[in-house]
Structure 1
Amino acid sequence: MPKTVEFMTRQRRPVLLAMVPLWLGLTGAAALAQTVATLAPTPPASAPAQATEDENAPAMLVADRVFISPGHKLVAEGNVEVFQGDIRLQANRIVYDRQNGMLNLEGPIRIDQSGAITVLADTAELDNGLRDGILRGARLVFDQQVQLAALQMTRVEGRYSQLYKTSVTSCDVCDDGRPPLWQIRAERITHDEQERQLYLENAQLRIRDVPVFYFPALRLPDPTLNRASGFLIPSLSSSSNLGFGFKLPYFVTIGPHRDLTITPYLSADTTTLDLRYRQAFRNGQIEISGAFSRDDIQPDDGRGYLFASGRFDIQRGFRLSFDLRTVSDDAYLADYDISDTDRLRSDVTLSRARRDQLIQIAAYNYKTLRDTENQDFVPATILTGTFEQRLFPKRIGGELRLRLNATQFNRASSLDATATEANGRDVTRVSADITWLRSWILPGGVETTWTAGIGLDSFALSDDAAFDNEANRVTPKTALTFRRPMARQTASGATQILEPILQLGWTKVNGDDVPNESSNISEFDQGNLLALSRFPEADAREDGRSLVYGVHFSHFDPSGWEATGIVAQVLRSDSQDGFTSSSGLDGQNSNILVAGQIGLRNNLTLTARGLFDEEWSVSKAEFRGDISRDRLTLAGSYLWLQADAEEDRDSETSELWFDGSYALTPAWEAGASMRYDITDGRATRAGIGLTYRNECVTLDLSVSRRYTSTTSVEPSTDFGFTLSLNGFSVKSGTTTSRRSCSTT
């Protein structure tokens, strides 16, 4: 019972008229305050402190008139409102009979608690504790969406609300008598406020008032409950590989921090059990997913997959993460449309990243799913450790960078490598790089950076007769970089920046020849333009003198659009081996790099990069565009690569990809995606989808086609259908349209 009760009247009148007699008024007001506290749902066991706080909070009664009737009943009438904590009660008239402890409320009656649950009724007769009573013409509304409407609602023991002849829906209900899009009709519904569960008896699911399903008994979590065991949204699918199928996920809560999702998948050609386990810890989380199948594709074998991932924040700022993957056969992931990957990578990583320091230790395992690869020749196990540190010595100034790296590649085979194949070669490498940088501003505004350093590499090799079992290298390096940014303001107010770039570099590789294990494929872009070695790892290093020249341009327009671009090239004193022909870095001089980006104010971004030889023939080109408007979201890319046998590409590759969606109406949205091989003149994957979403239902229809095939994977077509009733299903966070009663 509240400790403090306040009376207020909306009209200016003597205080005594609103408080006579004082002792009777206090008794009645206490009951009114208790009305709000008791009718509201009992908070969950996880929040007892909040419940106690609300019950002990002061209550305030506001009404046009408060008086004592001749029968010694306390009467509040005319826009009556009672406030206590986050609870608000509204009624037209409240009468409290102290002799029998009964409250009579005349409506319209409305009780709100934090916007989560609202009780509406025409009239109500309740005891002074509101543990028992009857509400007529009642409605129970959850999250301002799901509503339970009944002729009568009975309060039992202060915990249960029983509604009779009830309709449940999250659709807007119009006053013209038309039925909602969907509803559940039940003879009786019991709402357990403590467990936050709804129990339905003799329930019918109706679509436009046409019975579709009958349930003798049905339990649903009320929409205020975030997690509860039960069935999730079912889905229908049809696949050319697996036939027509049905999935019905069941969600199991295992305490407050764990859950398990069990999904049986039944179709004409497969019986599959899919599992997903999740657990949250104080310092991290894990997720394990997998499936076991018996199907007609490989009828003699059980098939399946298992993925496990997690991360943990441990002491001293370190993070431990893992991602483990295995599968029964090469085709399973593609057959069941789980993933298009052709190699499985598992890893365990321990890392810590600070402003001036990086520590990382990792173990990787690779499993090939390609028909053309032999697992024994794949470096299945890779161990690596990296330490990076930035220092700022005061005596010499500038910045000192230290990098230590150790890497080991292990293959299952013991077959010696050949001139073109690694076969069973194993490699262990330890590298150290020390680099010092210092910058000055020369007269005329020229920014100058001097870089000097040394790289040390030590190798241990086995199963490769072409190289010594042990090898060492020492690579000194230095470079001088000049920049001269120039800015101007145009007549329209735009800012333009032109920055010529020039770098003179020198490196000298001293030591033994070693195989290129992890730097077989290199990219030439803005990120490594000024690097003294553009190989991704220290297996290979560039050698000799180099000159980099280029110009960078930026435009920033006051209307909101901007553009950046760069043109650059690397010139060398000697031809550089180790780069593929399509990388743009092979030979004595690199290809000319041309790259740029335009960002328009209508949320359109265009990015392009191309490599051109000295005759301006294209060796590599890529283009990407992204746009996000009110109704349109679209992302697409185009890629062209020349033929390159060193990158296992016997012919040129030209590919187009896009993925987008368009809102046809506030409720209907269409989506499409495609990956198209222009060289072969056919799509590799395509899909379309249609979604209808309003305040009470979401409908998803989709069809996709995978055109690629291997000796173990056939092309397949998949159809999908999902229908969810909004209000009880998982919230997606997507804005939904609400239908108008005048148009639906």
Structure 2
Amino acid sequence: MVESVFPRSFMMDQRQGALPLRARLYLLGGVASLVLAATAAQAQQPLASTPPAPAIKAPPSDGLGEEGYYLESDLLIRDDKTGVLTARGEVEARYQGRTLRAEEVVYDTKAGVITAKGKVTLINGDGTAQFADEMTLDKELKAGFALGFSARMEENVKIAAVSAIRRNDSIQELNKAIYTPCEICADKLTPTWSVSADKVVQDKDRQLVYYKNAVIRLWGAPLMYLPVFWHPDPQATRSSGFLTPKLGASKRRGMSYQQPYLYVISPSQDVVLSPQINSSINPFLNAHWRKRFYSGIAEVRGGFTYEKDIDNRGERFGEATPRSYILARGLFDINDKWKWGFSAERTSDKLLFDNYSISDVYQQRGLFTSEDRRLSSQIYATRQDQRSYLSLSAVTVQGLRVSGIDAVTGLASFENSDVFPLIGPLVEGRWQPKDPVLGGRLRLQGTGVILTRSESPYGATLDGVDSQRGSVSADWRSTLTLKSGVRISPFAQARGDAYRVSDLPGADDSQTYSRALGVTGIDVSYPFFKPLKGGSVILEPLAQLAAGSESRRVPIVVGSSGTTRYLYNEDSTSFEFDETNLFRANKSPGFDLYEGGQRLNLGGRATVKYKDGRGASMLVGRSFRSEFDPLLPSRSGLQQKSSDWIVAATVTPVQGVTGFVRTRYAPDLASNKFRRIEAGLNAVHKVANGSVRYIKDQQDAVGAPLETFEMSGQLNLTKRWGITAYGGKDLVAGVWRRRDLGVVYNDDCIRIDVIYQNEDRFSQASTGGLKLQADQSVVFRLTLATLGDTGYSQ
């Protein structure tokens, strides 16, 4: 008997079989007996023999510690003979961070079984909760059985079942169950989507939820039946299972279904297998493997099929061959200063990515930025500390761009990847002393590269031009701010280049060339600051004066007579004069072309900012040189003594709306004075969001006129329904290259996109070459909350 632990009045009532209203019992001793006998016995031992307190876990936030029980009820009945403790009326019990509430709780201390009845609620330490009409648990509130079961989990997930078996902390089985993360209330009894099944098993160790005879429903209507189905546990950070499928239809592939599956190999390694099943052409298998090492990370994407050539209308012709691609990257730490990495990008079919709608292809995976519709493979090593940087690399490129359209046949061809050089080794390094030199920052740089070609761009029978270059340079700059506020920044640059060029058309021997280059000058700015009510305005006149070596390009003699010459230029063919290089002493993007001579760069910048996010900025500038410079590209607008005007402006008149314009204006031209203009508007609002962009260029990088218009946006018709649209028009050809129109539904647990796409694409022609055809397709995207991660797109 343990009656002595209660007040006298409690002892009298207990002998009669009951305790008064709202009796509170704190049991801080042995768990199985729910009495203080063990505690009392331990208190009678001598202090000298008391063992040191063992290390225990931090107690739950309820303050009961690891072994403390708390029980509260309107009525408490204890039968000492049977060892049964019965609590009735608003019962609440707490143990090890779990809380049990019910109308009645019966605890059999001998069997270690707890039975709760009537509006049973079990709240776990992680905040999740289970509900039942009746629940039977073990003494630790971990394992048990429930009738009329329901649960609320993380991410607002809800599960209900006729019966449930909780075997332990990890395994929970439900019979005749339904699963949904969607809101359910009196006004909305049917969830947006749900999965019902004869049996559901939640395995927290494997972080999976299994279903037997599962039915996926949308708004209560059955959408799909699956005899066996599983998905990652919503409480799991990462687990194996099916990801969101992709549905579509197009003339090229017919009906298309893509089902990604994530397989977690280990905590640091996984793979996504994503087979694409098509009704008109052969299936295509995508795979995406990732692994994190102690020193870095590696990932490989790849795909394979065995198919004939196909066009945008789904016609198949030619011989069936294996077709595949690989997109891989890796980056690893050698030590705290050295890193090495690689990227591998190749495809056996240059139309493969278009034919099978493979996304996220042209991304930066290595040391150097990838270009659109070109694949680059790299291997490199870098060393960096506070004052120095060194890189060693090699790069190869595969071109996927269309080189041009024949005016007679209307057919095009791909650019020839064999004329692209093998770049490597490429060595780049720089060093900066810790202390200032002559009151300024000094930086020393060196670079060297070897370019090797297998084919000449002037003909397939000619050898490709090979070259080697080595350069060293020094760059010094200092900054002074006078008391008047004028900021002065003098600078000086010196560089030496050495070239060796071989395999020239019409030349028998290799040729060498060296040059010394230098420039010195000064940057001057005088910012004016004026506070405004709720903001500020800054006006800043800018000027740069530079003088030094004349512009240089490497002259190469061709032909035995030595009268034919051309100017070598490998790395500076893409030259764009804009606000980003207006105040650079050498505006050339590479080494082969050097902008020299005496020049004066003038401009001004104005900036207005308000605390509420509104504001505007504008930069206007122009470059002046002492002489006409024929070595600079004519499309750059820098050849003349007075360059084109550069204007760049952004404005945010209200929150959520931003407009921009960037232009190069040639006042001396009789017509088409705007050599290049880019303008756009971005707007974000709860009702609608969108953007428009216009680009016009008299000559793009290949010398052709360019003029395009793009628009995209989404209009929310209601809280959940919206319309999406995208359009891209080639204004030179006068045709829309792409038109998308979609309908979207979005609520708390589902997103549905149905998009119609009409896009002009190049496809293989049965007669040879490439032809431009319209490709029409319908894309269906279904994203269900907690079922997979749509980030694993292929």
Q: Aligned partner of 2:694: which letter? A: Y
Cα separation, partners in 2 of 1:684 and 1:217, compared to 1, 3 Å: closer
Does residue 408 (structure 1) correspond to residue 429 (structure 2)? The answer is: no
Which residue in the other structure is 2:376 paired with? 345
Which residue in the other structure is 2:300 paired with? 288
Which residue in the other structure is 2:564 paired with? none
Structure 2 distance, partners of 1:657, 1:177, is: 41
Q: Aligned partner of 2:569: which letter? A: N
Q: Aligned partner of 1:653: which letter? A: L
Kindly provide the CA deviation profile for residues 298-343 of structure 1, in whole angstroms up to 9, marking residues without a partner as x. 5422222111122223313333332211111222222222258432
Which residue in the other structure is 1:742 paired with? none
Q: Aligned partner of 2:33: which letter? A: T
Structure 1 distance, partners of 2:188, 2:488, is: 79
Q: Aligned partner of 2:447: which letter? A: N
* TM-fit CA distance, 1:120: 0.8
Match of 1:300, SS state, is strand
Does the CA contact (< 8 Å) of 2:541 and 2:604 recur in 1?
yes
Cα separation, partners in 2 of 1:29 and 1:546, compared to 1, 3 Å: farther
Does the CA contact (< 8 Å) of 1:163 and 1:190 recur in 2?
yes
Which residue in the other structure is 2:782 paired with? 723
* TM-fit CA distance, 1:287: 1.6
Does the CA contact (< 8 Å) of 1:473 and 1:510 recur in 2?
no
Structure 2 distance, partners of 1:479, 1:269, is: 64
Which residue in the other structure is 1:396 paired with? 438
Match of 2:354, SS state, is helix
Structure 1 distance, partners of 2:35, 2:713, is: 60
Kindly provide the CA deviation profile for residues 226-260 of structure 1, in whole angstroms up to 9, marking residues without a partner as x. 33333322222112112222222222221222222
Structure 2 distance, partners of 1:613, 1:407, is: 37
Kindly provide the CA deviation profile for residues 431-485 of structure 1, in whole angstroms up to 9, marking residues without a partner as x. 1111222233446433222212311111111122679611100012111222222
Count matched residues: 700
Cα separation, partners in 2 of 1:73 and 1:677, compared to 1, 3 Å: same
Which residue in the other structure is 1:59 paired with? 68
Does residue 266 (structure 1) correspond to residue 266 (structure 2)? The answer is: no
Does the CA contact (< 8 Å) of 2:376 and 2:396 recur in 1?
yes
* TM-fit CA distance, 1:105: 1.5
Match of 2:438, SS state, is coil
Matches within 5 A, 1:114-129: 114-115=125-126, 117-129=128-140
RMSD: 3.7
Which residue in the other structure is 1:334 paired with? 354
Which residue in the other structure is 2:583 paired with? 530
Does the CA contact (< 8 Å) of 2:666 and 2:675 recur in 1?
yes
Does the CA contact (< 8 Å) of 2:551 and 2:594 recur in 1?
no
Which residue in the other structure is 1:506 paired with? 547
Matches within 5 A, 1:137-286: 137-143=148-154, 145-156=156-167, 160-175=171-186, 178-267=189-278, 268-286=280-298
Which residue in the other structure is 1:677 paired with? 730
Cα separation, partners in 2 of 1:606 and 1:58, compared to 1, 3 Å: farther
Does residue 472 (structure 1) correspond to residue 528 (structure 2)? The answer is: no
Which residue in the other structure is 1:359 paired with? 390
Q: Aligned partner of 1:450: which letter? A: P
Q: Percent identity?
A: 24
* TM-fit CA distance, 1:493: 5.9
Does the CA contact (< 8 Å) of 2:383 and 2:391 recur in 1?
yes
* TM-fit CA distance, 1:24: 9.3
Cα separation, partners in 2 of 1:406 and 1:660, compared to 1, 3 Å: farther
Structure 1 distance, partners of 2:736, 2:235, is: 46
Structure 1 distance, partners of 2:331, 2:771, is: 33
TM-score by length of 1: 0.84
Match of 1:578, SS state, is coil
Does the CA contact (< 8 Å) of 1:474 and 1:510 recur in 2?
no
Cα separation, partners in 2 of 1:135 and 1:372, compared to 1, 3 Å: closer
Which residue in the other structure is 2:479 paired with? 439
Does residue 386 (structure 1) correspond to residue 397 (structure 2)? The answer is: no
Structure 2 distance, partners of 1:177, 1:489, is: 54
Q: Aligned partner of 2:289: which letter? A: Y
Structure 2 distance, partners of 1:589, 1:717, is: 49
Does the CA contact (< 8 Å) of 2:599 and 2:624 recur in 1?
yes
Does the CA contact (< 8 Å) of 1:367 and 1:380 recur in 2?
no
Matches within 5 A, 1:25-36: 27-28=33-34
Match of 1:730, SS state, is coil
Does the CA contact (< 8 Å) of 1:185 and 1:204 recur in 2?
yes
Match of 1:541, SS state, is coil
Which residue in the other structure is 2:641 paired with? 588
Please point out which of 712, 723, 726 is paired with 2:770: 712
Matches within 5 A, 1:28-107: 28=34, 57-61=66-70, 63-65=72-74, 67-69=76-78, 73-107=84-118
Structure 1 distance, partners of 2:691, 2:715, is: 12
Which residue in the other structure is 1:740 paired with? none
Match of 1:245, SS state, is strand
Kindly provide the CA deviation profile for residues 114-142 of structure 1, in whole angstroms up to 9, marking residues without a partner as x. 54642111222334355664322211333
Kindly provide the CA deviation profile for residues 331-361 of structure 1, in whole angstroms up to 9, marking residues without a partner as x. 2222222258432222223334555433332
Unaligned stretches of 5+ residues in structure 1 = 8-12, 31-48, 734-744
Structure 1 distance, partners of 2:523, 2:419, is: 43
Cα separation, partners in 2 of 1:272 and 1:567, compared to 1, 3 Å: same
* TM-fit CA distance, 1:276: 1.6
Please point out which of 691, 695, 703 is paired with 1:649: 703
* TM-fit CA distance, 1:556: 2.6
Please point out which of 629, 646, 652 is paired with 1:599: 652
Please point out which of 100, 108, 119 is paired with 1:108: 119
Does the CA contact (< 8 Å) of 1:417 and 1:463 recur in 2?
no
Cα separation, partners in 2 of 1:603 and 1:99, compared to 1, 3 Å: same
Match of 1:301, SS state, is strand
Structure 2 distance, partners of 1:329, 1:699, is: 32
Matches within 5 A, 1:472-621: 472-489=514-531, 492=533, 494-509=535-550, 513=555, 515-557=568-610, 560-615=613-668, 617-621=673-677
Cα separation, partners in 2 of 1:274 and 1:69, compared to 1, 3 Å: same
TM-score by length of 2: 0.79
Kindly provide the CA deviation profile for residues 494-528 of structure 1, in whole angstroms up to 9, marking residues without a partner as x. 53322222222111149963611111121222332
Q: Aligned partner of 1:630: which letter? A: K
Which residue in the other structure is 1:692 paired with? 745
Does residue 632 (structure 1) correspond to residue 688 (structure 2)? The answer is: yes
Which residue in the other structure is 1:38 paired with? none
Which residue in the other structure is 2:499 paired with? 459
Does the CA contact (< 8 Å) of 1:669 and 1:690 recur in 2?
yes
Cα separation, partners in 2 of 1:355 and 1:105, compared to 1, 3 Å: same
Q: Aligned partner of 1:454: which letter? A: A
Q: Aligned partner of 2:629: which letter? A: Q
